[in-house]
Structure 1
Amino acid sequence: MKVSTYINAHKILLIPVVLFLMWYFNNWSTEAFIYLAIHGTYCLLWLLKHNMFPDNRFSEKQPFLIGLFFIFLPLGGYYIAPYLLISNYVVLPPYLFVLVVFIYTLGIFLHYVSDAQKYFTLKLQKGLINEGLFTKTRNPNYLGEILIYSAYAIMAMHWIPWLVLSGWVFGFFLKNMIKKDKSISRHEGFINYKKKSWLLFPKP
């Protein structure tokens, strides 16, 4: 099966998993519902993106056991945040709600808009993308995803979701960002583009 199949399965299961946790722990708090809303919409948007402007990197096929143990199950680490939030009956102060919504919304914008820009730009013309959201950062999509999962970690009020996110950042995201830099370095203008942008965060 394709890599995207294992990823999409994780996204599809998120809403049922969170609803089950809310039922099992009898936690119907505002915090639980807000978590369901923000993580649920992220997953629904991911599935829409897959149908409208898919990431070609995820079209590679993997044997079932490889996909299960090295893609699907590791993604299960992202279920830890809702489990901790719901099972511990976390109550967030109002200012953290503001921070969570702010970070999540900014992350969604960066992640999906930059993926759309990359997909449709490359359909029209191959080459270096150094405009729009890619002007000051070479990886606005990864920055967006990090912000999204940071919002979930804040809601959990626990260190473990931060550890899970760090594992993905340094074990997967960083490797892909470095690999991308090597790939686009062959294009004319890359040296100048690299001077004007940073790998992840926007250069001032």
Structure 2
Amino acid sequence: MKIKYCINLHKGTTFIFILGLMLIYQNFMLGAWVYLALHGTYGLLWLLKDQLYPDKQWEQQYPWPIHLLGFGLISLYWVAPYILISRRVEPAVPLIAGAIALNIVGVFLHFGSDAQKYLILKYQPRLITEGFFARCRNPNYLGEMLIYLSFAMLTMHWLPFVILGGFFGAVFIPNMLKKDRSLSRYPEFEQYRENSGLFWPKLIGKQNPTPKDMAKVELNS
């Protein structure tokens, strides 16, 4: 089975899970509704993204025990809505506004950069050094972290931040380093790495090599 199946199952049932918590705990306050809108919509957008421009890394085949383990691990993201709804947390309005703004930026980076990567690699496979990737080598991961950070903010509890930090250290960083090792096969990667950040954008630096520059390198190599 493809690993994306357990991920899609989790993303697709998040809206139902949060709504179920609201019904169980009879919590229909503003914080609960905002959380449902943000996290629930994110899950549905993920399913739409998988249909429009799927990520190859989630197409890998794994035995079903791995799927069960994977579903259990990513279900730790459900700790945040459980805390918020069961404890009847009511975030301050400025905090809600900040979380929504952060979520919008995260969705823009995450889904926009994934679309750019998918289309370029489909029609013109090469090292991507422009657009979302001009100053950051992993804008999709940055966007995803901002999205889950906005969820954690709404809970006003330390545990979701710890869980998010755990995923960042155990999953995100190894994947970003693995990607760097793969991209190092391109001769222009060293210049690109100097002018871009692994996770956080590097705002000051020289201009990255353009597709035309890459073509010249290939012709001269």
Structure 2 contact 10–74 (Cα < 8 Å) conserved: yes
Which structure has the greater CA radius of gyration? 2
Q: Please list the CA deviations of residues 118-139 of structure 1 after superposition, one character each: whole Å capped at 9, or x if unmatched.
A: 0001111111000000000000
What is the TM-score normalised by the length of structure 1?
A: 0.98
4+ runs of 1 displaced by more than 6 Å? none
Distance 1:193 1:94 in 2: 41
Distance 1:149 1:23 in 2: 23
Residue-pair matches, total: 203
Structure 2 contact 91–155 (Cα < 8 Å) conserved: no
Q: Which consecutive unaligned segments of at least 5 residues does structure 1 have?
A: none
Distance 1:44 1:25 in 2: 24
1:91 Cα deviation after fit: 1.2
3-state secondary structure, aligned to 1:166: helix
3-state secondary structure, aligned to 1:76: helix
1:42 aligns with 2:42: yes
Q: Which consecutive unaligned segments of at least 5 residues does structure 2 have?
A: 204-221
Distance 2:162 2:67 in 1: 22
Structure 2 contact 15–41 (Cα < 8 Å) conserved: no
Distance 1:140 1:63 in 2: 30
3-state secondary structure, aligned to 1:186: coil
What is the TM-score normalised by the length of structure 2?
A: 0.91
1:65 Cα deviation after fit: 1.1
Give the letter aligned to residue 133 of structure 2.
F
Aligned position for 1:121: 120
Aligned Cα root-mean-square deviation (Å) = 0.7
Q: Please list the CA deviations of residues 183-203 of structure 1 after superposition, one character each: whole Å capped at 9, or x if unmatched.
A: 001112111101110100111
Distance 2:33 2:93 in 1: 15
Q: Please list the CA deviations of residues 107-151 of structure 1 after superposition, one character each: whole Å capped at 9, or x if unmatched.
A: 000000000000001111111000000000000000000000000
Give the letter aligned to residue 195 of structure 2.
K
1:31 aligns with 2:46: no
Distance 2:152 2:33 in 1: 15
